[in-house]
Amino acid sequence: MGIPKNEKPPTWTKTMSDLNTYIAQDFLGGPKILKFAWVINFQKSGTFFFIALLMMIYKNYSTAAYIYMALHGSYGFCWLIKHFAFPDPNWEKKITFGGAVLSFLVVLGPYWLFPFLLISGVLGPDHSEPSNFMLMFCVSLHTLGVVIMMASDCQKYFTLKYHSGLIEEGMLKYIRHPNYLGEMMLYGSYALLVNHWLPWIILAWVWSGLFLVNMVIKEASMSRYPEWNAYKARTGMLLPWKLLIPHSGLKKDT
């Protein structure tokens, strides 16, 4: 049996990855004295207080505003717990000051437009508040998303710490990227609460320009493992299709 060769990711993913790296790590050049994690943790942990400030400025103490603060604000604290308990080495990279500013403005900062739209009243008096059903749905979606993201990142961190190789069990048994699925679920709950098209535009950029690019490049890297083809055939990128459609007619791995 020959040694498996890595699949090459599509050219567009390499271009987008290089652009993302420049934006987040190298913009304007200069010394790299900041950690990317510091920028991310500032935005994540500051979200709760930013939302509280918006509520005070605009005197909006509605149920939707409080629910939004509970969800998006608590997620920031969950992120800090994750960072200190099982940090992602990708966020430990040193970046330039320009990269820190631009990554905040282009990727992280726009997330704060979500609560601004919901709380400020800028959408006008005719903008409808989320129904009780929508509040319930968003809380449920967010809770599941946080659990999936945290559990999958925890599993990957400790598994790879003691054993390198392809992970095919636990959170990754049926889905190849459960951490991204969890993040999409929780941020999707914020967009649903806001009930406006702008959050979905922001999420479309992040999910396609960052998440999809990273997933495709990661899968090309994982193709070096002999068991990759069989694993890929029985799993979904983001959804467990073999569980959702058990009688789809797809051939079993041999």
- Whether residue 55 lies inside any domain: the answer is yes
- Whether residue 3 lies inside any domain: the answer is no
Cα 17 to Cα 30: distance, rounded to the nearest angstrom? 21
- Whether residue 75 lies inside any domain: the answer is yes
pLDDT at 249: 46
Inter-CA distances, 117 with 106, 137, 188, 196, 200, Å: 18, 20, 15, 8, 13
Cα 201 to Cα 39: distance, rounded to the nearest angstrom? 23
Residue 94 main-chain phi, psi, to 5 deg? -80, 140
- Enter the pTM of the model: 0.90
Tokens of 38: 């510091």
- Whether residue 132 lies inside any domain: the answer is yes
- Whether residue 1 lies inside any domain: the answer is no
Range of the domain at 83: 11-240
- Whether residue 221 lies inside any domain: the answer is yes
Inter-CA distances, 194 with 8, 56, 186, 204, 205, Å: 39, 18, 13, 15, 18
**CB < 8 Å & 24+ apart, contacts of 216-224:** 216/9, 216/10, 216/13, 217/9, 217/13, 217/14, 217/17, 218/177, 219/7, 219/9, 219/176, 220/6, 220/7, 220/8, 220/9, 221/6, 222/166, 223/4, 223/5, 223/6, 223/7, 224/4, 224/5, 224/6
CA proximity to 85, closest of 150, 149, 135: 150
Total domains in the fold of the chain: 1
Residue by residue, pLDDT tens for the chain (254 residues) are 444 566 788 889 989 999 999 989 999 999 999 999 999 999 999 999 999 999 999 999 999 999 999 999 999 999 999 999 999 999 999 999 999 999 999 999 999 999 999 999 999 988 989 999 999 999 999 999 999 999 999 999 999 999 999 999 999 999 999 999 999 999 999 999 999 999 999 999 999 999 999 999 999 999 999 999 999 999 999 998 877 776 544 444 43
Tokens of 244: 């959702």
pLDDT at 246: 60
- Whether residue 84 lies inside any domain: the answer is yes
- Whether residue 107 lies inside any domain: the answer is yes
Question: Which CATH number goes with the domain that contains 109?
Answer: 1.20.120
CB 47 within 8 A of CB 72: yes
Cα 135 to Cα 138: distance, rounded to the nearest angstrom? 5
